[in-house]
């Protein structure tokens, strides 16, 4: 995806087994998944901590503002790691999705996408290997609950055609009872 370059972390912030210079796209994809889960957990924890701080300040006990500041710093560090691994994954896959210009580049080819195709691909690309029901995608990728599942299927078909024609090492798959997901091949 089109992003600013994220510097590799110092060893002090690495999880054991994390190798930032890995050349394996599957390693990078797995680290994206791990850091996405850690970010989600840290966001929920920070939200709980903030409500506890408010309650604690009212009654004189509970977590402190320093705890909240530490958690905010921790969350930013995790978000930075997630951005690094997303960028690394896309670089190893030889892909570049420019959301603003609505283009997908791979292997010297540049595909022009519609706004909805770009939004759908960007949403799924940030969550490789995760599956979403049609209704979830309409709401989360487009924030447009008025769109029907049939309209989603139209964009899925178009996006599949684009990915196939450009020989992108990814498929937009659908699985019964799981929904749609973007699956990258080795």
- pTM (2 decimals)? 0.68
Strands 103-106, 95-98: pairing kind: antiparallel
Confidence of residue 181 (pLDDT cuts 50, 70, 90): very high
* Rounded Cα distance, 14 and 105, in Å: 30
pLDDT, position 100: 94
- Quick one: 151 and 102 in the same domain? yes
- Quick one: 20 and 54 in the same domain? yes
Contacts of 81 (CB under 8 A, 6+ apart): 9, 13, 31, 35, 38
Containing domain of residue 150, as a range? 96-184
pLDDT tens digits for 41-92? 999 999 998 887 676 654 455 667 788 889 999 999 999 998 899 888 888 8
Count of domains in the chain?
A: 2
State the greatest distance between any 2 C-alpha atoms of the chain, in Å, as a whole number: 63
Closest-CA residue to 89 (of 36, 125, 40, 38) = 125
- Quick one: 140 and 162 in the same domain? yes
Contacts of 63 (CB under 8 A, 6+ apart): 49, 52, 53, 56
Residue entry with tokens 């920070």: 46
- Quick one: 102 and 175 in the same domain? yes
Structure tokens at 168: 């992108």
pLDDT, position 173: 94
- Quick one: 119 and 105 in the same domain? yes
Mean pLDDT score of the chain, rounded to an integer?
A: 85
């Amino acid at each position: 995806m089109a992003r600013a370059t994220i510097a590799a972390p110092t060893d002090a912030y690495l999880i054991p087994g994390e190798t930032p210079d890995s050349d394996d796209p599957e390693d990078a994809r797995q680290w994206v998944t791990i850091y996405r889960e850690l970010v989600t957990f840290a966001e929920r924890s920070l939200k709980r901590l903030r409500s506890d701080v408010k309650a604690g300040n009212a009654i004189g006990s509970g977590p402190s503002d320093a705890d909240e500041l530490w958690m905010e710093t921790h969350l930013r560090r995790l978000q930075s790691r997630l951005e690094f691994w997303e960028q690394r994954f896309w670089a190893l896959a030889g892909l570049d999705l420019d959301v603003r210009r609505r283009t997908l580049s791979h292997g010297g080819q540049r595909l022009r996408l519609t706004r909805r195709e770009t939004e759908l691909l960007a949403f799924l690309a940030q969550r490789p290997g995760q599956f979403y029901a049609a209704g979830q995608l309409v709401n989360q990728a487009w924030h447009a609950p008025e769109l029907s599942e049939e309209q989603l299927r139209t964009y899925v078909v178009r996006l599949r055609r684009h990915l196939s024609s450009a020989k992108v090492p990814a498929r937009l798959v659908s699985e019964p009872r799981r929904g749609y997901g973007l699956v990258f091949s080795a």
